[in-house]
Amino acid sequence: MLNTGALRIARVEDLDSAMNELHDLELLVRSRVAIVVIQTQAERRAMDLLVRLGIGMAIPVFRWTVTEGLARVDIETPSQRFNRAAGDVLGHIRGSSQGGLYVLLDIHPWLDDPVNVRLLKDIALRHEQTGQTLVLLSHALTVPPELAAYTAQFEMRLPDRRRLAEIVRGTARDWSERNPGRRVRTDEATFGELVRNLSGLTEDDARRLAHRVIFDDGAITEHDMPQVMQTKFGLLNREGVLYFEYDTANFSEVGGLRGLKRWLEQRRAPFLEADQTKQLEPPKGVLLLGVQGGGKSLAARAVAGVWGVPLLRLDFGALYNKFHGETERNLRESLEAARSMAPCVLWIDEVEKGIGGDRHDGGTSRRVLGTLLTWMAGNRSRVFIVATANDITALPPELIRKGRLDEIFFVDLPDLETRKEIFAIHLRKRNQETEGFDLDRLAASAEGFSGSEIEQAVVSALYALDSGSLSDQHVLAELRRTRPLSVVMAEHLHSLRTWAAGRTVPAA
């Protein structure tokens, strides 16, 4: 049963946290910054904070929306509906000598208008005379360059674990009030896991998710956690740049790669905080270099599956945006979303395509690289990066030097024994009894084939089968019809192996 006896202590600590946030905002306003930018989805909480700030500083607080116009909100006054247009309200503020906080909600669509930008700058230039502080409050906002010198960002704090625990307990109390004589079923370990999984969400999102878990069946159980993580990911990934990979693999589904498997097993406990006796820092990540179809992507899935953590895939194609600065913002938000999902595996597939450098992209790839490296240098959360690459020459040296990632593994074409494993895996996966196949013969005939090419040979043989059972001859026929990449791109493979020799660790 859920213990609610610590609620009073939690409320005191939450009050301290809120007071610190209010203090930080007051320091910013008193530092004579003319324009404060707050980017948050928690609009209601931000407005509550600003009203409390105005009352504490004894200054009026005004709120503007395009639907209601301008109104004073620290005391109850009617809205000025004639000031609903962005240009009108900015002109009104500029023409007024009334000091105070002017909170402009969702004004970002009108910041492309040069007249509005000039009005904002006029107000900012008169800040010391009028005491007017503009607060631009929106879910996302790009400050025009003309206003950057007069602007400061304020980050709304996300609820800490104490506050999240209070939210879950409060939701449990609501459920008990609606179900007299009953209490929410859980244990301390599962309760703590739910609280940890809610970290990184706003109070409103955390409350909604806790409500969904508890009001479903009056219990908090281990079975709720996968759905909690999937829902949390959807809330964090509103831009659609990260993808939650539901189909994580087990290492039993990956042929070969014994060196990589051993390396990962040695670091499993430090990553999951299960072993603190050696005082080891959690591993940062690995780069998997190799030929296409060699099993790099499957290995990335297997890391998450074996470690039992979520797998997030970063899509560089969706990351890039034609507007200046938006690509880097997309990357920063994606990395922060991954941090909020920790512990997790962040899979960056074909990383060279996103940061390999393009002299014709206006410097975007270099800025993306800088953003990624800065995040990696400062990251202390348990986000394990698995970056895969097919062309090492396209990668910048800043990324592959020691210290950025823990190791570079080379995933070569499978050897004879590994090819036997791969045939067995894909035959069993398609309900074929391996005892009826000569795996040694199949593996010998598939020399130079990658893991994915071996899989496709099995699949194609099944498609070509008109009747009867699948046999060695069907698979051998498909192998003879296939020209593997090791033949088609022999020069590239030779170059890749030459570079990897002595520079990387064999994954096999």
pLDDT tens per residue, range 351-391: 887 776 555 566 777 888 888 888 888 888 889 999 988 88
Greatest mean pLDDT among 119-123, 324-328, 369-373 lies in: 119-123
What is the rounded average pLDDT of the residues 332-344? 82
CA distance 506 to 262: 12
Residue 6 confidence (pLDDT) above 50? no
Read off the pLDDT band of 274 (50, 70, 90).
low
CA distance 97 to 130: 5
Bridge partners (DSSP) of residue 104 are 64, 136
Contact present, 294 and 451 (Cβ < 8 Å)? yes
**What are the pLDDT digits (tens) for 406-441?**
999 988 888 899 899 899 999 998 999 999 899 999
What is the rounded average pLDDT of the residues 147-158? 89
Least reliable range by pLDDT among 37-41, 228-232, 278-282: 278-282
The CATH architecture that domain 416-488 belongs to is Orthogonal Bundle (1.10)
Residue 12 confidence (pLDDT) above 50? no
Q: Give the CA-trace dihedral at 187, 192, 194, 200, to 10 degrees.
A: 170
Share of the chain above pLDDT 70, in %: 90
Please tell me the predicted confidence (pLDDT) of residue 162: 87
Same fold, 32-153 and 251-411: yes
Read off the pLDDT band of 10 (50, 70, 90).
very low
Question: Domain locations in the chain?
Answer: 32-153, 161-236, 251-411, 416-488
Please tell me the predicted confidence (pLDDT) of residue 276: 58
Read off the pLDDT band of 104 (50, 70, 90).
very high
Least reliable range by pLDDT among 133-137, 225-229, 231-235: 231-235
Structure tokens of 411? 């995933």
Residue 33 confidence (pLDDT) above 60? yes
Domain 251-411 sits in CATH at: 3.40.50.300
Please tell me the predicted confidence (pLDDT) of residue 126: 95
The two beta strands, 344-348 and 383-389, are: parallel
Bridge partners (DSSP) of residue 389 are 289
Contact present, 171 and 138 (Cβ < 8 Å)? no
Structure tokens of 27? 């320091």
Identify the sign of the CA torsion 392, 394, 395, 397: positive
Full DSSP string of 124-170: HHTHHHH-EEEEEEESS----GGGGGGEEE-PPPPP-HHHHHHHHHH
Residue 5 confidence (pLDDT) above 90? no
Question: Which one-letter DSSP state was computed for residue 349?
Answer: T
Structure tokens of 306? 């074996």
Please tell me the predicted confidence (pLDDT) of residue 446: 93
Residue 9 confidence (pLDDT) above 60? no
Structure tokens of 119? 């009005």
Residue 85 confidence (pLDDT) above 80? yes
Pick from 379, 397, 281: nearest CA to 334: 379
- CATH homologous superfamily of domain 32-153? P-loop containing nucleotide triphosphate hydrolases (3.40.50.300)
**What are the pLDDT digits (tens) for 50-65?**
999 999 999 999 999 9
Please tell me the predicted confidence (pLDDT) of residue 93: 95
CA distance 390 to 352: 8
Residue written as token pair 């410097």: 363
Read off the pLDDT band of 66 (50, 70, 90).
very high
Where is pLDDT greater, at 194 or 273? 194
Question: Long-range contacts made by residues 328-333, C-beta under 8 angstroms, separation at least 24?
Answer: 328/367, 328/368, 328/371, 329/140, 329/142, 330/239, 330/241, 331/241, 331/368, 331/371, 331/372, 332/371, 332/375, 333/239, 333/241
Share of the chain above pLDDT 90, in %: 40
- Residues in contact with 91: Cβ distance below 8 Å, sequence separation at least 6, in sequence order: 119
Phi, then psi, of 208 in degrees rounded to 5:
-65, -40
Please tell me the predicted confidence (pLDDT) of residue 203: 85
Please tell me the predicted confidence (pLDDT) of residue 251: 64
Read off the pLDDT band of 7 (50, 70, 90).
very low
Give the containing element (helix H, strand E) for 210: helix 203-217
- Where does residue 211 rank: exposed (0-12), middle (13-18), buried (19+ CB within 10 A)? middle
What is the rounded average pLDDT of the residues 269-278? 70
Please tell me the predicted confidence (pLDDT) of residue 241: 74
Residue written as token pair 């010391």: 128
